[in-house]
């Protein structure tokens, strides 16, 4: 491949940017989006040290002038759809990564639309003109490096890594720029005086494997040399369906956490049935008041999209982790279902019979909520409780 033809387009502080777009009074001011926990921060707030996720009290201490606004998920979803329409008008080869970012392949457009840099510049202008949001685009020969370039180019920038100059650009960067290097891995590497991507490249694969394990060692060695054979894939179905809820910093009774979990499972299973996809593995995600995290998973005997089956599994995982929750305090709970089938097939049990009561109840509730809104029917445990909206995970 002689050209850098892969674009990584990433909206800047997406939630906060939507709020500043829709309310001119917020423009140029530090904005925090969240309820108890910061879900997104404008660059004016980030300049004061605010990061996500961070408790709102801590964020206000760093940035006393910050304006806090509650999340508006419908507005963010509408903006995301408008931006992805711009992506698809740019090239048919678009791979969405999250609500606010995507990879685009423009290799087939060189003769009709100009260089990848020209295409990226027009893309940024189109998003600004049609949607009113800032976006950063990185351009490179690999998906990995295009994403790194967009991160380095933020905010509201365009960064092209020319072929032949990839390692000169990549190697001086800190090790945290490598996919898969979080705080734990970074600490292990820095203990051995490995601080930059170039240091990782010079260590050698065998040494990395001995430090980090086979998969992580080989993965980081390949990325440090910009080896990433993945192509931009169109129409790839998601591997899991999930939802999460920020709980804030105040202590919550366990019964309220259970009610929140049930509301999340209702949302997830409704989406599974709408997509016609059953799943086997239920994953519970927890974030604690000390910012540590825990993930617990369990696979069911057979794939299901029934609310009752998935909720029973999720509740069991939550109950097993109650001592940890009581000790550390919980600020976020999430649930996801993975190992999804491709076409909604569900293994039937013998003897064959008509749909069980749980299936008929799920179908009836879906019909009511589709017609009258998601809050038309709710659980008794949720009445009178302030359950925050579910939020997808965003990149910075």
Contact between residue 34 and residue 246 where contact means Cβ atoms under 8 Å apart: yes
Rounded CA gap, 208 and 199, in Å? 11
Q: In 3-state terms, what secondary structure has residue 240?
A: strand
Could you give the CA distance from residue 102 to residue 86 in angstroms, rounded to a whole number?
11
| Residues β-bridged to residue 32 | 41, 68
Catalytic residue among 19, 44, 95, 101: 101
Report long-range pairs for 113-117 (Cβ below 8 Å, ≥24 apart). 115/3, 116/3, 116/4, 116/5, 116/7, 116/160, 117/158, 117/160
Torsion sign across C-alpha atoms 55, 59, 64, 69: negative
Report how far residue 355's alpha carbon sits from residue 357's, in angstroms, rounded to the nearest whole number.
7
CA 322 to chain centre: 26
**What is the spatial distance between Cα 90 and Cα 7, in angstroms, rounded to a whole number?**
11
Residue environment code for 209-234, b if the CB has 16+ CB neighbours within 10 A, otherwise e: bebbeeebbebbbebbbbebeeebee
Spatial distance between the Cα atoms of 277 and 241, rounded to a whole number of angstroms: 9
Degrees to nearest 5, angle at CA 27 with 21 and 30? 115
Backbone angles phi and psi of 174, in degrees to 5? -65, 155
Cβ-based neighbours of 259, under 8 Å, separated by 6 or more: 379, 381, 382, 385, 387
Annotation says 255 is catalytic: no
Which residues are part of the catalytic machinery? 101
């Amino acid at each position: 491949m002689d050209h850098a033809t892969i674009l990584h387009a990433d909206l800047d502080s997406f939630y906060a940017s939507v709020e500043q777009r829709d309310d001119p009074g917020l423009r140029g001011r530090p904005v925090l989006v969240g309820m108890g926990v910061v879900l997104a921060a404008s660059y004016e707030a980030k300049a004061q040290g605010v990061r996500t996720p961070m408790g709102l009290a801590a964020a206000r201490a760093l940035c006393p002038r910050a304006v806090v606004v509650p999340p508006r998920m419908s507005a963010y979803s509408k903006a995301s759809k408008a931006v992805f329409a711009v992506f698809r008008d740019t090239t048919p080869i678009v791979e969405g990564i999250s609500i606010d970012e995507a990879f685009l392949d423009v290799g087939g457009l060189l003769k009709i639309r100009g260089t990848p840099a020209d295409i990226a510049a027009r893309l940024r202008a189109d998003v600004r003109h049609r949607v009113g949001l800032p976006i950063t685009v990185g351009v490179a020969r690999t998906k990995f490096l295009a994403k790194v370039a967009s991160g380095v180019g933020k905010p509201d920038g365009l960064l092209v890594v020319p072929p032949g100059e990839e390692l000169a650009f990549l190697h001086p960067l800190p090790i945290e720029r490598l996919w898969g290097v979080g705080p734990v891995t970074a600490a292990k590497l820095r203990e051995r005086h490995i601080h930059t991507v170039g240091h990782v490249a010079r260590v050698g694969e065998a040494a990395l494997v001995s430090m980090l394990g086979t998969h992580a060692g080989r993965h980081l060695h390949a990325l440090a040399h910009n080896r990433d054979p993945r192509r931009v894939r169109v129409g790839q179905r998601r591997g899991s369906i999930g939802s999460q809820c920020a709980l804030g910093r105040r202590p919550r009774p366990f019964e309220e956490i259970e009610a929140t979990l049930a509301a999340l499972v209702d949302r997830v299973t409704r989406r599974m049935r709408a997509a016609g996809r059953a799943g086997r593995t239920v994953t519970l995600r927890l974030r604690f008041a000390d910012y540590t995290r825990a993930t617990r998973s369990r696979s069911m005997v057979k794939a299901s999209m029934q609310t009752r089956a998935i909720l029973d599994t999720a509740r069991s995982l939550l109950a097993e982790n109650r001592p940890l929750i009581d000790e550390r305090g919980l600020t976020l709970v999430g649930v996801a279902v993975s190992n999804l089938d491709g076409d909604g097939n569900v293994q039937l049990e013998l003897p064959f019979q008509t749909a069980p009561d749980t299936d008929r109840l799920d179908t009836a509730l879906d019909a009511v909520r589709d017609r009258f809104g998601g809050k038309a029917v709710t659980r008794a445990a949720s009445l009178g409780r302030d359950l925050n909206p579910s939020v997808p995970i965003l990149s910075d």
